[in-house]
Amino acid sequence: MTWLYHPLQIPLGLIVWGMWFIALYSGLSVGCAIGPPDAAAGPWNWLNIVLGGASLATVALLLGLSALCWRASRRVGKDERAKRFIARVGASVHLVAVLATLFIALPIVGLPPCV
């Protein structure tokens, strides 16, 4: 599990979040271009369900990675502070990314996508 102490763990959560955000916005735009759902149907339509599902999957991935980082931070010895720092900051950043994903995705359950 040495990859959990790699310095890329520090920004990884927010990189995943960034990719999700790009997918969310471009997915919405492409979805509206190829098959816009009926606005009268409200928020429960194929496009919102796809976007919401992708968001929940991202949250699950980020939560898992955060937990792994946190456990990794507890495994290192006292003289391995650099490793502990990376794992702890990584766990925190993944958690921040979870909150950011949930908060930004929240409008999916309240608004139709293409109006």
Partner 1 sequence: MIDGRPDELHQQFEEVWGNPRGWRAATIVNHTRIGLLFLLTGLGFFIFGGLLAMLIRAQLALPDQTFMDADTYNQVFTMHGTVMMFLFAVPMMEGLAVYLIPKMLGARDLVFPRLSALGYWCYLFGGLILAASLFLELAPDAGWFMYTPLSSLPYSPGVNSDFWLLGITFVEISAVTAAVELVVAILRARAPGMTLQRMPLYAWYILTMAMMIVLGFPPLILGSILLELERAAGMAFFDVARGGDPILWQHLFWLFGHPEVYIIFLPAAGLVSTVLPVFARRPIVGYRWVVVAVLTTGFISFALWVHHMFTVGIPHLAQAFFSAASMLVAIPTGVQVFSWLATLWLGRPVYHVPMLWLFGFLVIFVAGGLTGVMLALVPFNWQVHDTQFVVAHLHYVLVGGMFFPLVAAVYYWLPHFSGRMPSARLGRWGFWLVFGGFNLTFLVMHWTGLLGMPRRAYTYAPGLGWDVPNLVSSIGSFIMAIGIATVLVDVLLHFRFGVRAAPNPWHADTLEWATRLPPAAYNFISLPTVDSRYPLWDQPELAKKMARGEQGLATVAHGRRETWGTDAVTGEVREIIHLPGNTWLPFAVALVLSVVCIGLLVKAYAVASFATVVAAILVLRWSWENGAHEESGIGVPVSAGDPPLHWRTHDGPGRWGMGVTLLADGALYAALLFGWFYLWTVAPQWQVPAQSPLDARGLLANALLLSAATLWLRRVLAALRRGSDKGLCGQLAAVAALGLLQSAHLLWLMYTSDLAPKGTAHDAVIAVVLGYALFHCVLAGIAIALQAWRVHYGYVDRAAPYEPIVLGQLWYYNLGVMWSAYVALVLFPSTWGGV
| Interface with partner 1 (CB under 8 A), residue from 62, 68, 93, 98 | 93
Rounded Cα gap, residues 22 and 27, in angstroms = 8
CA triplet 98, 100, 105: central angle to 5 degrees? 100
* Residue closest to 103 by CA, chosen among 17, 41, 39, 45: 17
112 near partner 1, rule: CB under 8 A? yes
Q: DSSP alpha helices (H): ranges in the chain?
A: 9-34, 46-75, 81-105
Pattern of binders to partner 1 over 19-58, x per CB under 8 A? --x--xxx-xxx-xx--------------x----------
Least gap, CB of 60 to partner 1 (angstroms): 20
**Binding stretches for partner 1 (CB under 8 A):** 7, 10-11, 14-15, 17-18, 21, 24-26, 28-30, 32-33, 48, 81-82, 85-86, 88-89, 92-93, 96, 100, 103-108, 110-115
